A and B are shown apart, each in its own frame.
Chain A
Amino acid sequence: MKIGVYICECGSNIAGTVDTEKVAQSAEPLPKVAVSRVYRYACSEPGQNLITQDIEELGLDRVIVAACSPSMHEPTFRALLREKGLNPYLLEMVNIREQCSWVHSDKDQATDKAISLLTSAILRNTLMKPLTPKKVGVINKALVIGGGIAGIQSALDLAEVGYQTYLVEKTPSIGGKMAQLDKTFPTLDCSACILSPKMVDVGRHPNITLLANSEVIEVDGYVGNFNVKIRKKATYVDPVKCTLCDECVPVCPVIVHDEYNADLSPRRAIYIPFPQAVPATYIIDEEACLGIDPLICAKCRDVCGPDAIDFDMKPEIIEEEFGAIIVATGYEPYPIENIGEYGYGTIHNVISGLEFERIISASGPTDGVVRRPSDGKVPKTVVFIHCAGSRDPAKHLPYCSKVCCMYSTKHALQYRHLVHDGTAVNFYIDIRTAGKDFEEFYQRAAEEDGVIYIKGKVSELIEDGDQVLVRGVNTLTSETVEMHADLVVLATGLIPSEGTRQIAKMLKLPVDSTGFIREAHPKLKPVDTVISGVFLAGTASGPKDIPETVSHASGAASRASTILAQKELEIEATIANVNEILCRGCGMCVDSCPYSAIELVAKNSFGHTIKVASVNEALCKGCGTCSATCLNGAINHLGYTDSQILAQIQALGGK
């Protein structure tokens, strides 16, 4: 056994606080150390060449690099060892940067600490054994959860590459929030017109299996091999037979709010979500229908020419295996009824941004004429309140939702285009136009289309006759503002949707303080999650506008392809290992494992059936919780065995 020790100076990052020469000298007398050197940048090519040369000339079989965190360069040096025919698990990284030089200022003490860390690593290294990573097969199928624009884009990209893709959508049609929008900023494209071709593509693509009206209910397994259970709810209408003739709708006696129109218009219990819905079929709303079992009304079935209505339809459970999962479960608007001072829910003419979106939509409840909900009059003064419930850490959302400045500007501009003699006033805190052509769009609204902008917050809205009294402040002139509006539109922020919260819980994905799913790295891994094989698309990980969502979704599809394209995947070798002779089958490790990677299995021992713990090597993340929990010491963590850790502790306490 010959160990080579390399101390990295990392420029002055380490050498500034740690006496690297002294650290190198401290290693020389230790057992099995063949060479101990200092180098300015160990990770650089000359640095790596130095190690390669020593391996060749001195016959090193183990290498210790005292440098930065292993999360930075462990892969670099492991690759070097593998290249030279050594077992990569005989490399040891000692973190003397993040955990030593960066956090200390006293050079003597920092040097002492670096020496202790290095000594303990050397003693541990002598006890290390070569490990071989296991391989698992990969199912070349993808699951996309959520059928908004993000899910649609991810599914189409994966299907184009050639992977079988399942797209699961909770509601009866794909399209998501984007399908409800009238126009998109800053180009004023018709939202439905640019979205519907993509929706149609999803419906027709031979590689996409679309499961609308369905929910993911269980996810098991690991990267490359996820087992997923999906519940497909009954629609009670056969989509193949349904000819979209609409005969069934007028006879239905049930009237409920239409979700597509933000509850501003009625629909029947049998309905099609919206004209461009995919899958294009009518469905029966189970909860609203007068009764399916026992059958109470059945008027729709009586008039249905092609006999498409089947009240005996039952929900199905679909079980499938997937190699990768993309979570595209989206957002929902902040519940503005929480903002007491704005009276949403008690004042008729105070509405949300999404409601206004439907009101100005050509396919909306007012056929594209701007009418307010209280009396159907065309409002002559509309006030738009930006940041309704946003950027308010004391009471509501602390963060900026990024899209509201722009959609309010778009609303005001659209309103001015529809009502030429109308006045549109926007109250804002700051106008945030950080996007391509966004600033120009805002300038156009303010300068060419006569939208009025007042910097300041609205403190309260009061119903005053058939108008709304807006009381606020203009912070540029330091004056209080009181004005009457016919309609007030609240620009609400974005929060994670219920589906996002559910799926995060089901997949055990960590979330931010705001509830959005956390990325594996906020800058360098924006579509990965901490669970390998699970990726994020769209607003499930935070507020995004449409172009950003689409590129995020394509990114997720591309990251998922890196897994789906493999025949087999190598999995980490530093995992838990059960000594079946010591294990007494108590099951404490099963309960302690955060990844559900351990189970008790029956084993024949000299004619008796006993239970022993068994580790699923693909699921195990090597966190070490089980080996710390096991009372009998029957679980060892490969690469971090008890004897190795004890040697380390001994060295650290040795002085």
Chain B
Amino acid sequence: MVQYSYFPGCNLKTNAKGFEETAIAVSKKLNVELVEIPNWNCCGTVHTMTSDNIMKRIAPVRVLSRSKKHIETLEESPNQVVTLCSMCNSTLKIVSKEVSDNQDTLDKINYQLEDDELTYENDIEVKHFLEILRDSVGYEGISKKVVKPLKGLKVSPYYGCMLLHPEEAKIDDEEMPDVLESLVESLGAELVMSPLFKYCCGSYHIVDQENIVSSQVEKIVEAATRRGANALVVACPLCSYNIDQQQKAMAKESAGFKPIPIFYFTQLMALAMGEPVKINHFKEHFINPEPLLKELGLIGRKKTK
């Protein structure tokens, strides 16, 4: 069992419990253990990206140095910190690149970290769980563990922005990615390609200008359903929240709008690998995927609620 130092971030503990629990469950099946960093803090998120103030880099660098300490206590652990949230992944990657290019910045941050008895030495790599699945586990290894191929599920991958941008944080080709596509196929689901695979979900406008988000979501969902998709797969808790929640609101407003459920990629893996349904926390979804899954015979008729 390879143990990875795992950084959850805020969403995985609140809005996206199903994402985290399924990820931990399927990783064990794949001989990869995600071990949570003890005592982690916020990745730094938007503050890091919107300002070049060094103070805003302290949080992510602290995460990296704590992860390094954590790795020393793990078994067979590569020098990598793994994230699930694409925002955390992007923030940590950008900052790790920035401090490795600029020793002066790192020195200043390390000075601030002295109180925590921490110091960071540019000696750790940030990886998204999708990268581990693609590069270390391999799709073949994943399909070998599939016990219940997701037949009938027509899944359209939706990347959003953070998985593919900016250059220093991208996990795949920004124009022609195939990591989610290959994963979906290795789980036995049908792949539906949508041209709006990285069309902005509306992001933080959800806080103040919901109409922007709803118009974006409408286009994203429409592009996928018109091509025959009956589900979306994502890797970002914010994309998931925006699309899921807005669909429910739109369905209420217009009877013609047909919402489709949205899955984290690890939820699809858990379903295909026969994990218990309850770890998906489907009840917390705005659009409950269970009716569709039942219709397709992918979850039993046994009571799951």
Q: Which residues of A contact B (CB under 8 A)?
A: 339-341, 343, 346, 462-463
Interface string of B203-244 (1 = CB under 8 A from A): 000000000000000000001000000000000000000000
Q: Are A341 and B175 in contact (CB under 8 A)?
A: yes
Q: Are B195 and A340 in contact (CB under 8 A)?
A: no
User: Among B173, B175, B176, B195, which residue has the most Cβ atoms of chain A within 10 A?
Assistant: B195
Q: Dominant SS at the B interface?
A: loop
- What residues on B are CB-neighbors of A346 within 8 Å? 193
Q: Are A340 and B173 in contact (CB under 8 A)?
A: yes
Interchain CB contact (< 8 A) of A343 among B173, B195, B223: B195
Residue in A closest to B195 when the chains form the complex, CB atoms? A462
Q: Are B175 and A339 in contact (CB under 8 A)?
A: yes
Cβ-based interface call for B142 (8 A) = no
Q: Are B175 and A462 in contact (CB under 8 A)?
A: no
Say how far A480's CB is from chain B's closest CB, in angstroms. 12
Interface positions of B from 148 to 188, Cβ below 8 Å from A: 173-176
Cβ-based interface call for B196 (8 A) = yes
- What residues on B are CB-neighbors of A340 within 8 Å? 173-176
- What residues on A are CB-neighbors of B174 within 8 Å? 340
- What residues on A are CB-neighbors of B173 within 8 Å? 340
Residue in B closest to A468 when the chains form the complex, CB atoms? B195
- What residues on B are CB-neighbors of A341 within 8 Å? 175
Q: Dominant SS at the A interface?
A: mixed
Q: Are B176 and A462 in contact (CB under 8 A)?
A: no
- What residues on A are CB-neighbors of B176 within 8 Å? 340
Besides A340-B173, A340-B174, 10 new A-B residue pairs in contact (Cβ under 8 A), listed by A number? A339-B175, A340-B175, A340-B176, A341-B175, A343-B195, A346-B193, A462-B195, A462-B196, A462-B223, A463-B195
Q: How many A-B residue pairs have CB under 8 A?
A: 12
Residue in B closest to A461 when the chains form the complex, CB atoms? B195
- What residues on B are CB-neighbors of A339 within 8 Å? 175
- What residues on A are CB-neighbors of B195 within 8 Å? 343, 462-463
Say how far A618's CB is from chain B's closest CB, in angstroms. 51
Residue in A closest to B174 when the chains form the complex, CB atoms? A340
12 example contacts (A-B, Cβ-Cβ < 8 A) are as follows: A339-B175, A340-B173, A340-B174, A340-B175, A340-B176, A341-B175, A343-B195, A346-B193, A462-B195, A462-B196, A462-B223, A463-B195
Say how far B203's CB is from chain A's closest CB, in angstroms. 17
Residue in A closest to B175 when the chains form the complex, CB atoms? A340
Residue in A closest to B199 when the chains form the complex, CB atoms? A462
- What residues on A are CB-neighbors of B223 within 8 Å? 462
Interface positions of B from 92 to 124, Cβ below 8 Å from A: none
Cα–Cα, bound, A632→B295 (Å)? 86
Q: Which residues of B contact A (CB under 8 A)?
A: 173-176, 193, 195-196, 223
Say how far A468's CB is from chain B's closest CB, in angstroms. 10
Residue in A closest to B193 when the chains form the complex, CB atoms? A346
Cα–Cα, bound, A341→B223 (Å)? 16
Say how far A461's CB is from chain B's closest CB, in angstroms. 8
The 6 closest A-B pairs by CB, nearest first: A340-B175, A340-B176, A462-B195, A341-B175, A463-B195, A340-B173
- What residues on B are CB-neighbors of A463 within 8 Å? 195
Cα–Cα, bound, A463→B193 (Å)? 11
Cα–Cα, bound, A346→B178 (Å)? 15
- What residues on A are CB-neighbors of B196 within 8 Å? 462
User: Among B173, B174, B176, B193, which residue has the most Cβ atoms of chain A within 10 A?
Assistant: B176
Cα–Cα, bound, A463→B197 (Å)? 12
Cα–Cα, bound, A339→B176 (Å)? 9
Cα–Cα, bound, A462→B173 (Å)? 18
Cα–Cα, bound, A305→B263 (Å)? 68
Say how far B196's CB is from chain A's closest CB, in angstroms. 7
Cα–Cα, bound, A341→B164 (Å)? 13
Say how far B47's CB is from chain A's closest CB, in angstroms. 27
Say how far A464's CB is from chain B's closest CB, in angstroms. 8
Say how far B155's CB is from chain A's closest CB, in angstroms. 18
Cα–Cα, bound, A401→B173 (Å)? 26
Residue in B closest to A471 when the chains form the complex, CB atoms? B199
Cα–Cα, bound, A343→B175 (Å)? 9
Cα–Cα, bound, A341→B199 (Å)? 12
Cα–Cα, bound, A340→B175 (Å)? 5
- What residues on A are CB-neighbors of B193 within 8 Å? 346
Cα–Cα, bound, A189→B193 (Å)? 44
Cα–Cα, bound, A462→B195 (Å)? 6
Cα–Cα, bound, A508→B185 (Å)? 47
Residue in B closest to A462 when the chains form the complex, CB atoms? B195
Say how far A620's CB is from chain B's closest CB, in angstroms. 48
- What residues on B are CB-neighbors of A343 within 8 Å? 195
Residue in A closest to B176 when the chains form the complex, CB atoms? A340
Cα–Cα, bound, A427→B174 (Å)? 23
- What residues on B are CB-neighbors of A462 within 8 Å? 195-196, 223
Residue in B closest to A346 when the chains form the complex, CB atoms? B193
Say how far A412's CB is from chain B's closest CB, in angstroms. 25
Cα–Cα, bound, A463→B194 (Å)? 9
Cα–Cα, bound, A462→B197 (Å)? 11
Say how far A389's CB is from chain B's closest CB, in angstroms. 12
Cα–Cα, bound, A436→B195 (Å)? 42
Say how far B6's CB is from chain A's closest CB, in angstroms. 31
Residue in B closest to A340 when the chains form the complex, CB atoms? B175
Say how far A337's CB is from chain B's closest CB, in angstroms. 9
Cα–Cα, bound, A339→B175 (Å)? 8
User: Among B173, B193, B196, which residue has the most Cβ atoms of chain A within 10 A?
Assistant: B196
Say how far B64's CB is from chain A's closest CB, in angstroms. 27
Cα–Cα, bound, A346→B196 (Å)? 14
Say how far B197's CB is from chain A's closest CB, in angstroms. 10
Cα–Cα, bound, A463→B195 (Å)? 7
Cα–Cα, bound, A259→B278 (Å)? 58
Say how far B181's CB is from chain A's closest CB, in angstroms. 13
Say how far B132's CB is from chain A's closest CB, in angstroms. 24
Cα–Cα, bound, A463→B196 (Å)? 10
- What residues on A are CB-neighbors of B175 within 8 Å? 339-341
Cα–Cα, bound, A462→B175 (Å)? 12
User: Among B174, B175, B193, B223, which residue has the most Cβ atoms of chain A within 10 A?
Assistant: B175
Cα–Cα, bound, A648→B37 (Å)? 68
Cα–Cα, bound, A485→B88 (Å)? 39
Cα–Cα, bound, A346→B223 (Å)? 15
Cα–Cα, bound, A139→B195 (Å)? 61
Cα–Cα, bound, A287→B303 (Å)? 62
Cα–Cα, bound, A339→B173 (Å)? 11
Cα–Cα, bound, A597→B105 (Å)? 56
Say how far B247's CB is from chain A's closest CB, in angstroms. 21
Cα–Cα, bound, A462→B223 (Å)? 10
Residue in A closest to B196 when the chains form the complex, CB atoms? A462
Cα–Cα, bound, A343→B195 (Å)? 9
Residue in A closest to B177 when the chains form the complex, CB atoms? A340
Say how far B127's CB is from chain A's closest CB, in angstroms. 23
Cα–Cα, bound, A463→B223 (Å)? 9
Cα–Cα, bound, A341→B165 (Å)? 14
Say how far A300's CB is from chain B's closest CB, in angstroms. 42
Cα–Cα, bound, A341→B173 (Å)? 11
Residue in B closest to A394 when the chains form the complex, CB atoms? B167
Residue in B closest to A465 when the chains form the complex, CB atoms? B226
Say how far A577's CB is from chain B's closest CB, in angstroms. 53
Cα–Cα, bound, A339→B174 (Å)? 11
Say how far A634's CB is from chain B's closest CB, in angstroms. 52
Cα–Cα, bound, A341→B174 (Å)? 9
Say how far A555's CB is from chain B's closest CB, in angstroms. 41
Cα–Cα, bound, A463→B226 (Å)? 12
Cα–Cα, bound, A339→B196 (Å)? 16
Cα–Cα, bound, A340→B172 (Å)? 12
Say how far A607's CB is from chain B's closest CB, in angstroms. 68
Residue in B closest to A337 when the chains form the complex, CB atoms? B176
Say how far B168's CB is from chain A's closest CB, in angstroms. 13
Say how far B217's CB is from chain A's closest CB, in angstroms. 16
Cα–Cα, bound, A533→B157 (Å)? 58
Cα–Cα, bound, A340→B176 (Å)? 6
Cα–Cα, bound, A340→B195 (Å)? 11
